[in-house]
Amino acid sequence: MEGDYHHDLNTQLSYWPCYSANHLPEGMAYLDHLDANKANYKRYTKMYFGKNGLAVPGVTTLDGTEMGGWIQYSLSPTVSSWLAQHYYLQWRYSMDRTFLKNRAYPWIKDVAVFLESLTFKGDDGFRKLPTSSSPEINDNDPTAWFQQNTNYDLGLMKSTFKMAAELAGELGLKSEAAHWRKILAEFGDFAVTPNNELKFAPSMAYNQSHRHFSHMMAIHPLGLIKWEDGMQSQRIIKNSIHLLDSIGPAYWCGYSYAWLANMKARAKDGDGAAKDLQIFAKAFCSINSFHLNGDQTKSGYSKFQYRPFTLEGNFAFAAGLQEMLIQSYAGFIEIMPAVPADWKNVGFENLRTEGAFLVSASKKNGKTALIKIKSEKGGRCIVKTDIPVEQVKVQSKLSAKIIRGEDGKTFIEIESKPGDVISIVNTSNTVN
């Protein structure tokens, strides 16, 4: 038997669904493995890059020792940045301050220390890597290296310093938070075409079918370009997804469809997300539900028709379904943000959100009927729902602020205490 850890998406995608599915202990098992090998990763960082801080090899043995492979992903300097997001999410979904202080911030800070020392300001005044890449683009070839930051590396670096600043601030480390904000501001904007489509790099548009949506990391999973930020972000998200679909799935594999479903859910496209999940289940899974990478139906969903069994596609599928049902990455809890119109009756129980809230909700006859929220750690709870303002009833001992949003949806804001339970009811007579 052979075994290794692939950290250029295989492990990361496999833990996407654990947070909102309310399986934080399972997610912690991954972080336990990473922390157990942290000293070995730091040895590699010093040996390979000659820098302090933390850079995890993209491909490792079971004890975290580097294994090599295609250098763009096996020895990429931003691998630990993607892993850092899992520490951040574990904190945001649990609000465990001990974990924040002892594990989440130390990991993210070590990554930030490394990236600050590795990058430098270019002629344009923006911070950049000595050379940058995007996983598997231009294969194992000299042209795979770019003199400007790829959107993949840029997204991961910006995410690292954004998380470091936020967590340092949460811990009251004001000077460290200010320092990380300063470094974050030294990175430039993402490379887009005149049509607002994300590119691989400033010198290379998205021009080929590829299974790894590395150039769109800023949309999902990093959430640096959010639908909620307004029209310009929405144009980038919609146009980048449209270009991805237009060029087509020739070299996609199963997890590509599952990942795209997550992005379409972030774009509030429930029909599109459901379609991609259905293709994944129909064409890329065996009868026992295992993800087999290639198109098993030979229906043109991919040129790959092989059968290697991998885990990340199934887990990304679960995460995509959860993104359709609930989202909390934008500072509030949005109920059923990407549910297809023909899902008239649907519900879920005890999905977890950022801020450590457990949420249950149901839709009947196409209308949200009930939302129930339990606050584990207390704090401000903001809920976005399609229940009209005049039909909202909040059943709670706490006072609630109810606002009609610009998009016609309803925002409900409540300051909660640990253990509080909040019920939001649709009083419309048509909801039974």
pLDDT in tens, 39-80: 999 999 999 999 999 999 999 999 999 998 888 888 999 999
How far apart are alpha carbons 97 and 56 in whole angstroms? 25
**Which residues of the chain are in CATH 2.60.40.1180 domains?**
334-426
Continuous segment of H or E residues that includes residue 121: strand 120-121
- Residue 240 has a pLDDT of 98
**Which residues of the chain are in CATH 1.50.10.10 domains?**
5-248
Q: How confident is the model at residue 194 (pLDDT cuts 50, 70, 90)?
A: very high
Q: What is the DSSP code (8-state) at residue 333?
A: E
Given 3-state DSSP classes, what are the helix, strand and coil percentages for the chain, each rounded to the nearest 5? 40, 20, 40
Q: How far apart are the first and last CA of the chain?
A: 56
Work out the average pLDDT over 402-422.
Answer: 93
Neighbours of 325 (CB within 10 A): 23
**Predicted confidence (pLDDT) at residue 129 exceeds the cutoff of 90:** yes
CATH of 334-426, one of 3.40.50.2300, 2.60.40.1180, 3.60.150.10, 3.40.50.300: 2.60.40.1180
Q: What are the residues whose beta carbons fall under 8 Å from the beta carbon of 267, sequence distance 6 or more?
A: 227, 234, 237, 238, 241, 338
Q: How confident is the model at residue 432 (pLDDT cuts 50, 70, 90)?
A: low
Question: pTM for the whole thing?
Answer: 0.96
User: 280 — phi, psi (to 5°)?
Assistant: -55, -50
Fold of 5-248: Glycosyltransferase (1.50.10)
- Residue 308 has a pLDDT of 84
- Residue 1 has a pLDDT of 41
What CA dihedral angle connects 339, 373, 169 and 57, to 10 degrees? -50
Tokens standing for residue 293: 């990478």
Continuous segment of H or E residues that includes residue 416: strand 410-416
Beta strands (DSSP E) in 255-407 are: 326-327, 333-335, 346-353, 357-364, 367-375, 379-385, 392-395, 400-404
**Predicted confidence (pLDDT) at residue 408 exceeds the cutoff of 70:** yes
Of 422, 415, 387, 390, which is closest to residue 401 (Cα–Cα)? 415
| 189 neighbors 141 (Cβ within 8 angstroms) | no
User: What string of H, E and C letters represents the secondary structure of 254-295?
Assistant: HHHHHHHHHHHHHCCCHHHHHHHHHHHHHHCECCCCCECCCC
Q: How confident is the model at residue 139 (pLDDT cuts 50, 70, 90)?
A: confident
Q: What is the CA radius of gyration of the chain?
A: 22
Q: Give 267-280 pLDDT, tens digit per residue.
A: 999 999 999 999 99
